[in-house]
Chain A
Amino acid sequence: MRWGVVVFPGSLDDRDALRAAGCVLGDEAVALWHKDRDLGGVDCVILPGGFSYGDYLRCGAMAKFSPIMEAVARHVRDGGLVLGICNGFQILCEAGLLPGALVRNRSLSFVCEPVTVRVETAETFFTHGCRAGEVLELPVKHGEGCYVADEATLAALEREHRVVFRYTDRAGRPTPEANPNGSLQNIAGLCSAERNVVGLMPHPEHAVEHLTGGADGLRLFRSVEAWVARGAAAGPAASAPG
């Protein structure tokens, strides 16, 4: 499959995302410049972590107006896959492609540590290789990762099983201690109503090799690969969940 990683001025984790997709998975992986107006036929777009536009005004507030984001929005409308990691998640929320917003960590401190998250649903392109309820270890590193949304949005997310990851302890309990940033309902990641856009604060692209601290993230990337392969085998009209 073909991955595209968007590079904004101030992106930081684009190289790790490219490395995960290109070197570790062995797929085709291309960098997309924020001024590009098309996505070059990629199957899955990654909006990487970092500090796009210096986090000026609000995290992701400037990046949402980059020329490439129009192409990303079109890709989403056409049912294409988009993954936003950390700053990428913030950008997706700012752009209205995912609901809610990410605000300053409740502790006011930058957090940089491994966390455990529970996979809440396997019904997405990103998690179908996992079982719902499984606990993964992934690193976080952010200052603005506290997920907030109004009551109605939170209720809809839960009802529609759109919370994809929740911060939990190793036993899968969503305790306050397991929540690194104060996110409402311990939400670490979610998907769009059509389930083709996923955003999360933890960094799966930093967890793809045992040599560097764990490979739980690799399973998520492999899910995408399998999803795309299945869609390709079934023909272009049948890339929806089977």
Chain B
Amino acid sequence: MPLLARVHVTPKRGILDPQGKAVQNSLHALGFAEVQDVKVGKYIELRLREAEPQAASARVREMCERLLANGVIEDFQFQLERDGR
């Protein structure tokens, strides 16, 4: 069965995230005072050919490091699952 990788890319801690700040301010203006911090990132889905999960995971990590995220400003994490689509 093919695999689905769900990749999340978020601004690194300590890096300015003006977009997150703007969203936070708007949420506060709407009365959601409990919001303490907002980070706006990216969600990327990759559909992959059937492969052994450990090997696929190493490949997705490489994709993140080389292209999908910029390690200077962003962190990434991903989950791999069977793509039942």
Contact = CB atoms under 8 A, between A and B. Distances in A.
B70 A61 contact: yes
Contacts of A74: none
A107 B14 CA distance: 18
Contacts of A93: 72
Contacts of B14: 150
A148 B18 contact: no
A101 B19 contact: no
A101 B68 contact: no
A182 interface: yes
A101 B68 CA distance: 15
Contacts of B27: none
B16 A182 contact: yes
B24 to A, nearest CB: 13
Interface residues of A, number: 20
Nearest to B22: A108
Interface string B14-26: 1110110010000
Contact of A103 (B67, B68, B73): B73
B68 A148 contact: no
19 contacts: A57-B67, A61-B67, A61-B70, A99-B72, A100-B72, A101-B72, A101-B73, A103-B11, A103-B16, A103-B73, A104-B18, A104-B19, A105-B18, A106-B18, A108-B18, A146-B18, A148-B16, A148-B73, A182-B18
Given A94-B70, A108-B22, 5 more contacts: A65-B67, A100-B72, A103-B16, A150-B72, A182-B16
Interface of A: 57-58, 61, 65, 93-94, 99-101, 103-108, 146, 148-150, 182
